[in-house]
Chains A and B, each alone.
Chain A
Amino acid sequence: METLRHECRDPQAIRDRLAPLIAEILDLSLRSPQSPSREVLARELESLIRTAYQKDPEGLAKTLRPLISPAIGQEIAENREKMVDTLYPILGGMITRYVSHAIRDLLETINRKIEDRFSTAAFKRKIKAKLTGVSESELLLEESLQTRILSIFIIHKESGLLIAESNWGDTEIEDPHMVASMASAIKDFINDWIQNTQEVSEVQLVSYGNASLYIESAGSVYLIAFLNQEPDSEEREAIRNFFADLLREYAEFFQRFDGDSSAPQIPEIETRINRFIQESNETVQSTVDPNATARETHGKHFALFAGVAALIVLVFWGAYRFERAHTLDELTRTVSMRTHETVHLSYHDGAVVAEGTLLDPRHRNAIIQIIQNRLHLPIRDQMHVSAETWSKLLKSLKALQIETQNGITAQKRQLQKDAQRSHEFQEAWTEQTRKLQHALETSRHTQQQLRQELQTLQHRFENLQWHIRLPRTIRSALQSTFGNDPGFHPEDGSLDIFDPQLLQSGDPRPNPKALAHIKKKIEKYITILLRFIPDPELLDRIEIVGYTDSRGDPVKNRQLSLQRAQAIRDALLDLPIIRKHRLSSKLIAVGEGGRDPIIIEGRERPELSRRIRIGFRLTPVASDIPSHKGK
Chain B
Amino acid sequence: MIRKKILLLGDFHVGKTSLIRRYVDNAFSDDYLTTIGVKISKKQITLHDREYELLIWDIEGATPTKKIPTHYFAGAAGAIVVGDLTREETLTSLPEHLQSFHSVNRGKPWVFAYNKVDLLPVEQRKRLQLPEWSFATSAKEDLNVDTLFTTLLERIVS
Contact = CB atoms under 8 A, between A and B. Distances in A.
A178 B71 contact: no
B35 A185 contact: no
B1 to A, nearest CB: 5
Contacts of B5: 159-161, 181, 259
A259 B3 contact: yes
A469 B47 CA distance: 110
B36 A160 contact: no
A136 B40 CA distance: 43
A179 to B, nearest CB: 9
Interface stretch (B11-19, B72-80, B120-128, B132-140): B72-80
Given A178-B28, A261-B3, A188 B57 contact: no
Nearest to A182: B40
Given A178-B42, A181-B57, A185-B57, A158 B36 contact: no
A175 B42 contact: yes
Contacts of B74: 158-159
Interface in B1-25: 1-5
A251 interface: no
B152 interface: no
A316 B32 CA distance: 10
Nearest to A156: B75
A177 B35 contact: no
Contacts of A162: 3
B36 A178 contact: no
Instruction: Place the interface of chain B in its size category.
Output: 20 to 34
A181 B36 CA distance: 13
B2 A188 contact: no
A616 to B, nearest CB: 93
B55 interface: yes
Contact of A315 (B35, B42, B53, B71): B35
Given A181-B5, A261-B2, A261-B3, A189 B57 contact: no
A157 B71 CA distance: 12
B38 interface: yes
A387 B21 CA distance: 65
Interface string B53-64: 101010000000
A592 interface: no
Interface centre among B3, B5, B69 (most CB of A within 10 A): B3
Contact of B38 (A157, A185, A260): A185
Interface string A478-496: 0000000000000000000
Contacts of B69: 189, 192
A159 B42 CA distance: 14
A470 interface: no
Nearest to B104: A158
B1 A262 contact: yes
A162 B1 CA distance: 12
Contacts of B2: 258-262
Nearest to A195: B71
B99 interface: no
Interface of B: 1-5, 26, 28, 31-32, 35-38, 40-42, 53, 55, 57, 69, 71-72, 74-77
Interface of A: 156-162, 175, 177-178, 181-182, 185-186, 188-189, 192, 258-262, 312, 315-316, 319
Q: Nearest 7 pairs between A and B by C-beta?
A: A159-B75, A158-B75, A259-B3, A189-B36, A159-B5, A181-B40, A261-B1
Given A177-B53, A259-B77, A261-B3, 6 more contacts: A159-B77, A188-B71, A192-B71, A259-B3, A262-B1, A312-B35
